[in-house]
Each structure stands twice: as structure tokens, then as C-alpha cells.
Amino acid sequence: MLIPATIILISTVAVVERYTRPGDLSAVSSSAPMAPVTDAKIGTSIGFAAPDFTLPTTGDKEFRLSDYRGKNVILNFWATWCGPCRYEVPALKALYDKYGDGGTVIVAVNSLDNLDAAASYAKDNDLNFIIPLDPRGVVTDLYHIRGMPTTLFINDKGIITSIKIGPFINVEEIEDRLTSFK
């Protein structure tokens, strides 16, 4: 009785793993942490230097967090299957439309999602900010993300200055967090 139940459990986990975390890990790397400009330790809490990572994007380019040192970064973790994530997309889009990449870069890491769904969603919603793809959740795990959406604000020195778990309701709520960059 125990052996058939174990086989069913393992099979179920394998199917869920296949469809919720598709893709090839060869394109994903969480490189050695970037050397911070300050003496801050590397970590995923406020006051720590954000860990560096590299991921492919929906635009078939490579995104490396350390390439954006010198700019403020809004690092958002989301998925197309996440209702609250879809709810906050208009606020992120409005922020991008209002400011573009002028000093603050929006990076929306699509996590634990189907790559085609992520690319289609970005195109259908005219999302022009950077969308790195993390289908297996490697970077999501690196950042200890436990709920989506989660957004980290990283200043121009690479230090995490604010963290928001849950969706932003409107662009003004995001703008209030921009003051943390100072």
C-alpha cells in the first residue's frame, strides 16, 4: 500500500515540476556576487548589497544586475499565473510610461512560469521594461522570494533600500517608495 502511494506522489511531483518550472537552466546563472561600492555585506535584506545574477530576457538579450550599477533599480518578481501580479502590472507600466529609464530601471523577473506565456503577456500588455526569465526559480530562490509579487528597491550603489511583498495598487504607491533610494 505504501509503495503505490509513493509512486503516485513522485509521479505527481514530476508532472507539476515539468509544467510549473519548464525550461533549460543552462541560460541561467547566479554569478558570484558583485563587489559592492560600499562595505555592505551581500544579502537580500534592507541595507545589504543585492546579489548579482544573469538571466535571459523576453527580448532575447542577457540581463546582468551588476550592469545597472550607478542606476536605481526596481526589482520585481512576478508570474503570469499570479493574480496579484497581474493586478499590479498597470501601476508598473504607468511608472515606466511616466519616467522611462530616466535614472530608475524597472526589472520585472518572470519567475516559475512558462517562457512563452511570459513573452506573450509582455507583448499583449505592451510592457517595455526589462523582463528577465527565471523559469526554474533560481534567482527567485537566491533572493528568498516566498510570495509574489515581491519588489525590491536597489539604489545606485547596489544596496537594497526597501522591500514590498504584495501588489502595488497604483503608481503613487510606487513613487512613495522611490524616496528610499536617497
pLDDT in tens, 19-74: 333 333 333 444 444 444 557 899 999 999 999 999 999 988 999 999 999 999 99
Any idea where the domains of the chain sit in the sequence? 25-181
Spell out a b/e string for 140-176, using b for 16 or more CB atoms within 10 Å of the CB, else e: bebbebeebbbbbbbbebbbbbbbbeebbeebeebee
pTM: 0.79
CATH of domain 25-181: 3.40.30.10
Distances (CA, A) of 78 to 37, 107, 122: 28, 10, 12
pLDDT in tens, 136-182: 999 999 999 999 999 999 999 999 999 999 999 999 999 999 988 87
